[in-house]
Amino acid sequence: MKLTSITRYVFIGVLFPLLIQFIMYYRFTPNYQPGVFSEAGFRSFYGSSVFKYRIAGTRLQLWLYRRLKSDKTRIPVKENKIYEKRLLALDEQADDLFYLTYYLINAFFSVLLALCLLFLFDRQHLFTLTEPDKSFAVVLVLLMVAVSQFVVTPYDTASYFFEVFSFTVFLKYFRTNNHLYLLATCLLIMSASFFRESSALILSLMAAVYFLVHGLTPQWVRKMIMPCLSFIIVYAGLRIFAPRSAVQISESSKLVENFTLRPSALMGILMAMIIFYLMLNAASSKDNRRLVRIFLLFTLPYGVMVIFAGLLVEFRLWVPLVIGTAMLYKLNLEPLRNHNYLRDLSANHTTDPQPH
């Protein structure tokens, strides 16, 4: 690996996500969701509604908090009187250590997200990005992820990492047809689904690539069966075996709340318009524009759920689509087309005499 690449991985892949997350958590105070900055408040909020199905992030938060609490050599988190009291306005039982746990989890997965994006963009046969292009693309994604954390959760950033990691492994499977990579993709989809049900968007990414390369053919539709089952098994299983309370697919309808004249609703609508404008105009080539639009078409069920069950002002709900677009807008489809053409040609003519 070249020195410039190592430097890029250190500064953009490790240091920048750590610093930008620190700024968002310790130089700003997220005040959108009260009552989630103590263990009691956290359990109450994340043990209800659809949040109770996102078990990986919530259990990771509680596990790490207990480990830090039992560690007598932990890093002090109280800097001054303001920082000691700022969370109490949001949660009467606010715990600085519990807040630190949020930061550590999101910073850790931000680093993994950045490194995975850099690794993906370094696949020269698939991406024609210059060194500055790679750095700026990753930085912009990290900034959007960080700013969207005015809604503090223990699972959003992890879900973004799994989206990128799963798609990276899928592209490897696409080129090699090695079923071990397909198995790895399915396992990653299952893991992502324990964090957040937006893992279904990984299927949209896969389907968009298949559709643009192969068209609407039964061959690739059959290849989607295992990944789809991987998502369905976890999604349905969590709801079937959910403890005690009735199964919920989503929260109560927010449709009316999203389309009022309140400032927050108007800001949410405008933000959604800007994000979709950016996604639809990100690609410069005809192929990539089609690829992004097909991906967004396949994400339509998710978009409908966001409008009906989410709040548009929480633009973090669009971040998985932005990350998906970032992986598609410069994806070079020719190696995928040529690779599949040669492989299929070889499979159909195995009995032909070989040239000497």
pLDDT tens digits for range 74-94: 666 555 566 668 888 889 998
What's the pLDDT at 243?
Answer: 64
Phi-psi bin for 245: left (phi > 0), alpha (psi -120 to 50), beta?
beta
Question: How confident is the model at residue 257, as a pLDDT?
Answer: 86
- Give start and end residues of each alpha helix (H) in the chain: 3-10, 16-26, 39-46, 55-70, 81-85, 96-121, 131-147, 156-176, 179-195, 200-214, 218-223, 225-240, 255-258, 263-280, 286-298, 300-309, 319-328, 334-348
pLDDT of residue 50: 85
| Three-class DSSP labels, 196-242 | CHHHHHHHHHHHHHHHHHHCCCHHHHHHCHHHHHHHHHHHHHHHHCC
pLDDT of residue 261: 87
Q: Report the chain (356 residues): mean pLDDT per 10 consecutive residues.
A: 84 97 90 90 89 94 94 61 78 91 97 97 90 94 94 95 98 93 97 96 96 89 95 94 57 78 91 95 93 96 91 92 96 82 46 44
Q: Where are the domains of the chain?
A: 3-334
233-239 CB contacts, 8 Å cutoff, 24+ apart: 233/190, 234/190, 234/193, 234/194, 235/193, 235/197, 235/200, 238/53, 238/55, 238/193, 238/194, 239/53
pLDDT value for 16: 97
Give me the pLDDT at residue 252, please: 63
Cα 104 to Cα 111: distance, rounded to the nearest angstrom:
11
The pLDDT of residue 222 is: 92
What's the confidence (pLDDT) of residue 54? 93
pLDDT of residue 301: 94
What is the value of pTM for the model shown? 0.90
